[in-house]
Amino acid sequence: MSATLQEEIEGLQRDIAQYLSIALSCLNFELSQQGEKHILRLITTNPRHQQSFLYHTVEGFGELDTMHKMLAYVKAKRPEKSTYTIQWSLREEKELHTSYFRGKDLYEVLDKFYYGKDINATIIFSVSLNPIA
């Protein structure tokens, strides 16, 4: 990868972090490839409890294309997606955590919550659809 391309990708990552108001160190850009198609998953890590969650997934043709699509998603208003609140704890801990997700339905939200996790490692106490603001 050329230095110029790498600099552009890093600039897009900084822009995404800025739009989300999340430190770049709390974001993980996970790129994979299936044939000609590239898949970019944006993973956020909460600095308080160190748990990571899937924020969004985009598909494109190359890292730069997927990064531009992720930035466009982050910038766009998403009225078609509902917001949910999940109250949960790690199975071995007693502390209750509250996390917020945006998704088209409950299944998408739970997929984001459990992405990359052992389903038995957490206990979900409640999931609620937030009122439209």
Residues 115 and 122 sit within 8 Å (Cβ to Cβ): no
Query: Would you list the domain boundaries of the chain?
Result: 1-76, 78-133
As a whole number of angstroms, the distance between CA 123 and CA 9 comes to 37
Q: Are strands 27-34 and 37-45 parallel, antiparallel or unpaired?
A: antiparallel
In a structure prediction context, what are the per-residue pLDDT tens digits for the chain, which is 133 residues long?
Answer: 678 989 999 999 999 999 999 999 999 999 999 999 999 999 999 998 899 999 999 999 999 999 999 999 999 866 678 899 999 999 989 899 999 999 999 999 999 999 999 999 999 999 999 997 6
Mention the CATH class of domain 1-76.
alpha beta
The CATH number of 78-133 is 3.10.20
Neighbours of 10 (CB within 10 A): 12
**Interatomic CA distance for residues 12 and 23, integer angstroms:** 14
Query: Cα dist. 3→6, 7, 8, 9, 22 in Å?
Result: 5, 6, 9, 10, 25
